[in-house]
Structure 1
């Protein structure tokens, strides 16, 4: 399941939980959705091999 499908699934679960009045579950699912959206915006933050924004010049190697 890709991240877009996961986000849609979470949004559906939030809708169902909200309609049932289960606001604790709504808060938990909203937190998960927000974390997933953040990860989608910054996909390489957890990647230990991703460049950290510094470009290396040839003479630095």
Structure 2
């Protein structure tokens, strides 16, 4: 789980390895871990979730011009 500004938190589930210790500041481009298969998953994948003030929100990525 990574805490961001304005009440946002991102979660990264099913990682096979996590390279960021709790409390460490993370900057853009930092490798935080690698995808894996844990729990009842049927293959390697990443569970990515965005929350705002503890409530799940739909991640929105704005389209770039020309794409």
Shorter-normalised TM range: under 0.3
Q: TM-score, normalised to structure 1's length?
A: 0.22
**More strand by percentage:** 2
**More helix by percentage:** 1
**Structure with bigger RCO (C-alpha 8 Å, 6+ apart):** 2
Q: TM-score, normalised to structure 2's length?
A: 0.21
